[in-house]
Structure 1
């Protein structure tokens, strides 16, 4: 099937062609346990070289891999699932209809991976005043704490001051999360960025300084629209819109109903600040959609195993 911008309705004369598929493994690979999760065919390019309109990128997933991606709520699988008939480059095997029949039983509120993506994009592109104010407050506070305790002192030594700082703004917080070593660890959360208490005060202050500088760069980008990754911002808006539609209706429409708007973003015709604000507002709508969705809490993944066992038995038996 055609994928990417051709599926979304945002293709331009410069767009390459992305093709996605689900392939049926042969009996030999099944018996030898050599079924590849995915197969990729792309033109070999030099370092930094981008695709041209003549390029065709092909990727095919095994049924097991595709169903796993679907159960995780990965956008690539959801986009493929809801691709309309006119995107198909050949008549699908009957197995595709069986996969589509199984798919709705693999949807759940815990498998909408794109929600996490939306949150990441809002943090990446957002330039709202509240977030900038929180970062500035944290930077000023950590600078003062560093002056008092010394650069190499552990952040946790100044826990009392950090807790006072965290209490001063909604986007500052103290959180306890699992550490890679398996033990709980305490972090100072600054607008989504986290500094572990075992790090030095200087390390935490540097992290927040970098975040503050990053906000400054975004603000300058908002002012002059320079150095903006418009394709990435288009992707962020599209994914958020799709997330809301899917959470509310369990469907995704292609091409996207707002394809003209997405194209305008892609071409840089809308000011950066407006798109950044749109992304942040869309995140709020996504969170509301998550709260109201009727999707079940979990998925019975045994359904995937049962489907793959039956499919492989059919292929092996001929």
Structure 2
């Protein structure tokens, strides 16, 4: 495989690794001429240790994602955090000297990095919501599933959700993350919905459909959130990621670059280990959310990436690959 760059990633890039950290690698490759001509280029090639469902990586386990040149540049243009971290990774993180093509990409960072990098705001908010204190969101989702399962057995799967309004009122009255809300409809007449952890289910839907929505919500929280609920409700690793990307976004929006290892790696590691009060970390995340939104609005970074540069670079690299083929 013709690798443009290959690097250590994750905690070993951030400077937050611990003895229990696994090994994570990211790379970018130039596809073979045959694959380019036949339009068979794989955007992402993933290699990882086979594990049982829900099983975490063990110390020393190796995960590797290798992106095609075009897919990587598309990710970068979208402001995805993985691509941004790779762009600013220092030579010390490289497993081999990067190619001149990678150096060209790095040198043109100013026309590739945009305000879209504020996509991390959504990441921070999602992490904070997903791994709240004492797993309260997880508990609410699971309780909603139990209530709707009972309602389905009582009224039948085809019955409208509104038929169980009495049970739903009792449920939302005892939950922090559930409510009955009125949502405008196409007929300008408000339609009542059951809202659970941000998910809305109209009273006109069948109880079966609502129950399936609740089931998917529980599943979406995943194994880490369920574990957080059992371990006093805080997934410190997830919250450390939220704080990390918030600080990275502020640096990027203010300076157009990200520094690795992270200047505040020690603080991030302390959060990861659960050495700071949850309330302090939660307040930090809320502050970062506001600060990043403000920074995105005032940043001098361009609104859009230089697509002409990206397209020209891909065409040139692919053409050279095809012409050098036997």
Is this a same-fold pair by TM over 0.5?
yes
TM-score (normalised: structure 2): 0.69
Aligned position for 2:43? 37
1:232 aligns with 2:238: yes
Query: Where does 1:42-57 land on structure 2 (aligned, <5 Å)?
Result: 42-57=48-63
SS of 1:45's equivalent in the other structure is coil
The answer to whether the Cα contact below 8 Å between 1:109 and 1:298 also exists between their aligned partners in 2 is yes
The answer to whether the Cα contact below 8 Å between 2:161 and 2:203 also exists between their aligned partners in 1 is no
Aligned-residue RMSD, C-alpha: 3.8
The answer to whether the Cα contact below 8 Å between 1:35 and 1:62 also exists between their aligned partners in 2 is yes
Q: What are the ranges of 5 or more consecutive residues in structure 2 without an aligned counterpart?
A: 1-6, 138-158, 163-179
- Within the candidate set 86, 91, 94, 1:85 is matched to 91
The answer to whether the Cα contact below 8 Å between 1:72 and 1:112 also exists between their aligned partners in 2 is no
Q: Per the alignment, do residues 175 and 243 of structure 1 end up closer, same or farther by CA in structure 2, a change over 3 Å counting?
A: farther
1:193 aligns with 2:198: yes
The answer to whether the Cα contact below 8 Å between 1:121 and 1:279 also exists between their aligned partners in 2 is no
- Within the candidate set 299, 312, 317, 2:318 is matched to 312
User: Matches of 2:89 and 2:79 in 1, distance apart?
Assistant: 15
Question: Deviation digits for residues 107-129 of structure 1, max 9, x if unmatched?
Answer: 222353212212323444567xx
SS of 2:26's equivalent in the other structure is strand
- Within the candidate set 86, 104, 114, 2:120 is matched to 114
SS of 2:108's equivalent in the other structure is helix
The answer to whether the Cα contact below 8 Å between 1:236 and 1:279 also exists between their aligned partners in 2 is yes
Question: Deviation digits for residues 163-200 of structure 1, max 9, x if unmatched?
Answer: xxxxxxxxx9988799xxxxxx9898989826376756
How far apart are residue 273 of structure 1 and its match? 2.0
The answer to whether the Cα contact below 8 Å between 1:126 and 1:277 also exists between their aligned partners in 2 is no
SS of 1:195's equivalent in the other structure is strand
User: Matches of 1:251 and 1:78 in 2, distance apart?
Assistant: 9
The answer to whether the Cα contact below 8 Å between 1:225 and 1:272 also exists between their aligned partners in 2 is no
Query: Where does 1:164-175 land on structure 2 (aligned, <5 Å)?
Result: none
User: Matches of 1:271 and 1:55 in 2, distance apart?
Assistant: 30
1:94 aligns with 2:94: no
The answer to whether the Cα contact below 8 Å between 1:3 and 1:20 also exists between their aligned partners in 2 is yes
Q: Per the alignment, do residues 189 and 261 of structure 1 end up closer, same or farther by CA in structure 2, a change over 3 Å counting?
A: farther
How far apart are residue 230 of structure 1 and its match? 1.1
Q: Per the alignment, do residues 112 and 175 of structure 1 end up closer, same or farther by CA in structure 2, a change over 3 Å counting?
A: farther
User: Matches of 2:315 and 2:65 in 1, distance apart?
Assistant: 23
1:289 aligns with 2:312: no
Q: Per the alignment, do residues 2 and 152 of structure 1 end up closer, same or farther by CA in structure 2, a change over 3 Å counting?
A: same
Query: Where does 1:11-30 land on structure 2 (aligned, <5 Å)?
Result: 11-30=17-36
Q: Per the alignment, do residues 173 and 297 of structure 1 end up closer, same or farther by CA in structure 2, a change over 3 Å counting?
A: farther
User: Matches of 2:182 and 2:252 in 1, distance apart?
Assistant: 33
User: Matches of 2:254 and 2:234 in 1, distance apart?
Assistant: 31
Query: Where does 1:192-271 land on structure 2 (aligned, <5 Å)?
Result: 193=198, 195=200, 199=204, 226-271=232-277
Question: Deviation digits for residues 9-63 of structure 1, max 9, x if unmatched?
Answer: 1000111111111112111211121111111111222333221222111111111
Aligned position for 1:157? none
Q: Per the alignment, do residues 189 and 196 of structure 1 end up closer, same or farther by CA in structure 2, a change over 3 Å counting?
A: closer
User: Matches of 1:267 and 1:111 in 2, distance apart?
Assistant: 27
TM-score (normalised: structure 1): 0.71
